[in-house]
Structure 1
Amino acid sequence: MSNPFARPKKTDGPRATFGRLLSYLFENKPAMVVIIVLSILGAGASLAQPLLVNQVVTAVQQGTGMSTLVWALVVLVLVAGVLNGVQHFLLQRAGEGVVLSTRRKLIARILNLPISEFDVRRTGDLVSRVGSDTTLLRAVLTQGLIESIGGALTFTGAVIAMAIIDPLLLVVVIVIVIVAVVVVGGLSRRIRVASKAAQEKVGDLTAAVERGIGAVRTIRAAGATAREVTEVDQHATEAYQRGLVIARMSAFVVPVASIVMQVAFIAVLGIGGAQVAAGTITIATLITFILLLFMMIMPLGQALGAVVAVAQALGALGRIEEVLHLPTEDQDDDAVRPAAAIATDDAITFEHVTFRYAASSDAVGTDGAAGAGAVGADAPTVGTGDDQVVLQDVSFSVPRGARVALVGPSGAGKSTTLALIERFYDPTDGVIRLGGLDVRGLDRGELRAQIGYVEQDAPVLAGTIRANLLLGSPDASESECVRVLEAVNLGDVLHRDPRGLDAQVGEDGVMLSGGERQRLAIARALLAAPPILLLDESTSSLDGVNEQKMRLAIDAVAEDRTLLVIAHRLSTVVDSDVIVVLEHGRVVGVGTHSELVQSTPLYRDLAKHQLLV
């Protein structure tokens, strides 16, 4: 068996290319067109300034009028400043838009991934992709990529003007620039690889923090706070070290523009000064050339900064694309060939169902739920070879309107059985029917609308009591919410807080007791009033008094409904119409309590110990 704490295998997705990056940046094409036009206009206004300066200096030397030229220069400077300010705002807004759009895509994809993906991926790493990875896309826009388009025009115009003014000085500048471009180009790919590695370490850190916060009470109770801090600190240190790698490489790139500027300026000033002294060019021409030099070097600096931003963004984009190209839960449903429908009075039917996890899907994240454990603590490892068999040739029926109990030792496959009915997974072999129809032929939304499912450790969402109840029944009235809470003996919770239904339950329902959280989950399922209820050990956290009240509440809503219940207490099982006994993923007995006590040794032993296993 593979290491239960191994990281999930990488999913091969499309390579993160510059073209893919541009497709993200140009999602809002009209806005980008406006930004590019403003960048070009700004470049034109900037290029015109050295030419006016040349005329102003010449006018000063000749003693002619220059007021018009000065005013024109002032207007150009102001226009260029306004254009740059508007462009900067639009770029920031476009950057935020790219981040928002990408996050929406990621959130929609993540929340529609197959359940099996959550078995093998760490929550913190997925959160990191939505958070920190997407922000690097914004940096591409705000750190010079789009501005480089206008800068390219400025660069080209400056080069042409410099070639006309003094080709010799231009050759000196071009040689210096080529050296800078070669240096930056050699580093850009290494920065991209280092950036992706750094983002992965940030994902590890986020996952470790999420795990520590989620289990903070357990960690403190175990006296493991110091060890947990050390472990999370190790992840933070690794992320820091990866960041230093990028910083060291960026340290070579960032000064390049400054060095190029200084070296080029000194070279132009020395050679140009000698030409002025020799009378080859005028002082006005030298000043104009130096101004054009600044016009040429500034966009080069933007381009060098953009190279670093693009390299980092491509590393993050690879992680984003990996998730966006994972299949959704229902992506391949159209290719499934469901079995033909049959006429039956049974609500649910299992026909020779086998379910196994492939070894390649056995890796898990830091939460430690290995492979089959993701569907409950009852997933066995049956058989040999590369697969983990959870259910093997399972057949049983749940009559419409009946109460059927699933019992068996831990690891028998009980929770997996309910997960298959909900289509969190599909069987490897065999057929599961709902009213005679193969569940694989039903729309998942329609299927789940007919089923109320209460998990073994049913989560309570951070927020209010009302928000938790309305999760599956958004149109339920306040009176209906109160009625269902009272039905599960949670009416006193409404009186503890003056806000009533709007009282906060805390993160993971921490402000409620374990039994209250379980009853709230059951109330949520009952409020939807589905024809079928799947209850996975729904009374395991309740004391005797509340269990009895819960049984009465379930009995009340069970009329004209089908119940499939996993229970560990004999009192919950004995009144069932049918009991299905599972062991090692196989059905070893089906019948009533009295029948199974006589016919099935495993059930007789479980009943002797009150089914508390």
Structure 2
Amino acid sequence: MFGRRRGDDGPRASVRELLPYLFPRKDLLAGAIVLSVLGAAAALAQPALAQELIARVERSSPLEWLPALLLVLVVVGALLDGFQHFLLQVLGEHVVLLTRRTLVARMLRLPVAEFDARRLGDLVSRVGADTTLLRAVLTQGLVESVGGLLTIVGAVIAMLVIDPLLLGLTVLVLVGAIVAMLVVMPLLTRASAAAQEQVGHLTSALERAIGAVRTVRAAGATDREIATIGERAGAAFGAGIRVARISALVVPIFGVAVQLAFLVVLGVGGLRVATGEIGIAQLVGFLLFLFLMIMPLGQVAGAIAAISVALGALGRIQEIVRLPAEEDGDAEALLVPVPDAPMVAFDGVGFAYPGSDGRKVLHDVSFAVPAGTRTALVGPSGAGKSTTFALLERFYDATDGRVLVGGVDVREVDRASLRARIGYVEQDAPVLAGTLRDNLRLGAPDATDDDLEAALASVNLSSLVTRSDAGLGAEVGEGGVLLSGGERQRLAIARALLAAAPVLLLDESTANLDARNEASLKAALDVASEGRTTLVIAHRLATVVDADQIVVLDGGRVLAVGTHEELLTASPLYRELAAHQLLAPADEPA
């Protein structure tokens, strides 16, 4: 009924996959089940006592302690229900916590290719909305149904003792309702999965618009984005209505079954009382046990519905959890450089991005970077410069050839060991929302405030500490919006310096910087390169002329390798790049 598959309505999970998420705290679960059982016992005792009370009234016998005991059972049952509800709420929060931790731990270890292929908002939705639905499995009756099942069994036994014929008629009516509900539940699971998928699309659209709100407003596209998000919200609304429509079938099915059962028992039971086959006390007792069964039956039906909805959400969660983490299957050896080997080397490297139908962006790329030197990578847009950095960091693995660090093929070593030896400053210099301290400690969590201030001073950013009373606790804004482009670049370099990696990758972007910021950035690059093996994706000649060697790339191929003076003579593309100011001459202002 609840098999795992992926169909047109999205991924689905099995009940077996759901169970581990429901039992993060066995002590709370055991306590809730014990309270549920005690509550069932208290509930079952009440109709029996009521029947005995009526029988004594009929016989004019003294009631003695029966009324007080019945009242005590009612109060105790209510207290047990209240405490059980509290335990279930706490257990539900643990379920959400465990699920979110599991999902986030897997999500942040996925290969970079997975993030390239997925929408950020949809991933966020899985951590938020989808995990919350698992809590409903507990809070909407799954554990309560354990006690409910005991109540049902006890009530059935009592009703069997009172009148087997009435019980048989009641069971026939209820079995028909259960069969109908089992038909509805798979429909509800698929509809719930589709609804959560639409919520993911909505979150993605909203994240895109908010993340680029300045661009959206500058382009006059606010109304269009509002309309697009509105369409997504409408689709989510429609999917939610479909869930509501299907889940609403459960209520009338159950309600009709209860009414029919009540009418059958009342009619047939009244006839049997009239003929003297059972007494009035027995009929009242049977009716009380029937009413006692109604709530547990509703809990069981609610639990089935909750499981159906949760399986739809869990399918989206498990879709991520089932993906192999980046480390899966990788070699566990630490990176131990080979003596006298180049610190970085590309040996006949070819590469095609996943999903590109094998279309390569690098072709037989070969060059070597000796330890302690600076190498600049230059070339037009799309030449493959950033791809070489992605291969060095093992965001992807080479399709052909080898990428070596310290003379060791990077595919033969643990990623964490590799990345511990490589500092990486991306072109857009990502800055995390938070404080200066948070950003600087990203790769050096044990750095002291003095270390942080020294790193900022080395890249001429001491003013960031003094411009605010918060000092290193000053907020940088979402994506570093409170910093200038040059400050973001230099902050990223300071972060790399604190990590103290022997290899430094700098995707140097100066196209949008003024002369003063460019000079500051060049000085920061010089500081960062001291004592390190540095690879720079260069955009200005001021960066290139100081390099020990320059690698000219075009169309994913190495066209030439040499110094600035050598390439001016030997490489037509290099001369063209300089002439067209993609590489500004060193003696001209930027």
Please indicate the TM-score interval, normalised by the length of the shorter structure: over 0.9
1:344 is aligned to 340
1:515 to 475, 486, 490: 486
Q: Deviations over 1:71-109 (max 9, x none)?
A: 211222122222212211111111111111111010000
Q: Which moved more, 1:518-527 or 1:221-230?
A: 518-527
Q: 1:272 to 1:339 in 2, by over 3 A?
A: closer
Q: 1:18 to 1:36 in 2, by over 3 A?
A: same
Following TM superposition, the consecutive aligned residue runs of length 4 or more in structure 1 with deviations greater than 4 angstroms are 338-343
Is residue 459–residue 527 contact of structure 2 (8 Å, CA) maintained in 1? no
Return 5+ residue gaps in structure 2 as ranges: 1-5, 585-590
Is residue 353–residue 395 contact of structure 1 (8 Å, CA) maintained in 2? yes
2:353 to 354, 357, 372: 357
Q: 1:326 to 1:394 in 2, by over 3 A?
A: same
Q: Deviations over 1:440-462 (max 9, x none)?
A: 22222221111111001121101
TM-score w.r.t. length of structure 2: 0.94
1:214 is aligned to 211
Distance 2:91 2:382 in 1: 52
Matches within 5 A, 1:333-482: 333-334=330-331, 343-358=339-354, 361-362=355-356, 386-482=357-453
1:498 is aligned to 469
1:140 is aligned to 137
Distance 1:476 1:89 in 2: 43
- SS in structure 2 opposite 1:568? coil
Q: CA deviation at 1:437?
A: 1.4
- SS in structure 2 opposite 1:458? coil
Return 5+ residue gaps in structure 1 as ranges: 1-8, 363-385
1:268 is aligned to 265
2:573 is aligned to 602
Q: CA deviation at 1:411?
A: 0.1
Q: CA deviation at 1:34?
A: 2.6
Q: CA deviation at 1:55?
A: 1.1
Q: CA deviation at 1:171?
A: 2.2
2:329 is aligned to 332
Q: 1:345 to 1:21 in 2, by over 3 A?
A: closer
2:84 to 75, 84, 87: 87
2:298 is aligned to 301
Q: CA deviation at 1:335?
A: 9.3
Q: 1:499 to 1:27 in 2, by over 3 A?
A: closer
- SS in structure 2 opposite 1:334? coil
Is residue 455–residue 498 contact of structure 2 (8 Å, CA) maintained in 1? yes
1:550 is aligned to 521
1:169 is aligned to 166
Q: Deviations over 1:500-548 (max 9, x none)?
A: 1101111111111222212211111122222121100244443212222
Distance 1:254 1:521 in 2: 58
The answer to whether the aligner puts 1:157 opposite 2:154 as a matched pair is yes
Is residue 24–residue 94 contact of structure 2 (8 Å, CA) maintained in 1? no
Distance 2:153 2:546 in 1: 86
Is residue 518–residue 541 contact of structure 1 (8 Å, CA) maintained in 2? no
Is residue 339–residue 438 contact of structure 1 (8 Å, CA) maintained in 2? no
Matches within 5 A, 1:105-124: 105-124=102-121
Q: Deviations over 1:548-596 (max 9, x none)?
A: 2222233234222111101111111111110000000000000001100
Percent identity, aligned pairs only, is 57
Q: Deviations over 1:139-185 (max 9, x none)?
A: 11111122112111111111111121112222221122112112111
Distance 2:374 2:430 in 1: 24
The answer to whether the aligner puts 1:561 opposite 2:532 as a matched pair is yes
Which amino acid letter does the alignment assign opposite residue 447 of structure 1?
L
Matches within 5 A, 1:192-207: 192-207=189-204
Is residue 198–residue 242 contact of structure 1 (8 Å, CA) maintained in 2? yes
TM-score w.r.t. length of structure 1: 0.91
Distance 2:265 2:583 in 1: 89
Which amino acid letter does the alignment assign opposite residue 290 of structure 2?
L
Q: Deviations over 1:434-486 (max 9, x none)?
A: 11111222222221111111001121101001110111111112122122222
Q: CA deviation at 1:343?
A: 4.6
Q: Which moved more, 1:397-406 or 1:540-549?
A: 540-549
Which amino acid letter does the alignment assign opposite residue 530 of structure 2?
E
1:181 is aligned to 178
Q: CA deviation at 1:345?
A: 4.2
Distance 1:120 1:219 in 2: 23
Q: 1:45 to 1:335 in 2, by over 3 A?
A: same
Which amino acid letter does the alignment assign opposite residue 216 of structure 1?
V
Which amino acid letter does the alignment assign opposite residue 405 of structure 2?
L
1:190 to 187, 192, 203: 187
Q: Which moved more, 1:549-558 or 1:319-328?
A: 549-558
- SS in structure 2 opposite 1:387? coil
Q: CA deviation at 1:339?
A: 12
- SS in structure 1 opposite 2:215? helix
Is residue 341–residue 438 contact of structure 1 (8 Å, CA) maintained in 2? no
Q: Deviations over 1:340-387 (max 9, x none)?
A: 9855342111111111124xx35xxxxxxxxxxxxxxxxxxxxxxx21
Distance 1:555 1:167 in 2: 93
1:368 is aligned to none
Distance 1:547 1:414 in 2: 21
1:22 is aligned to 19
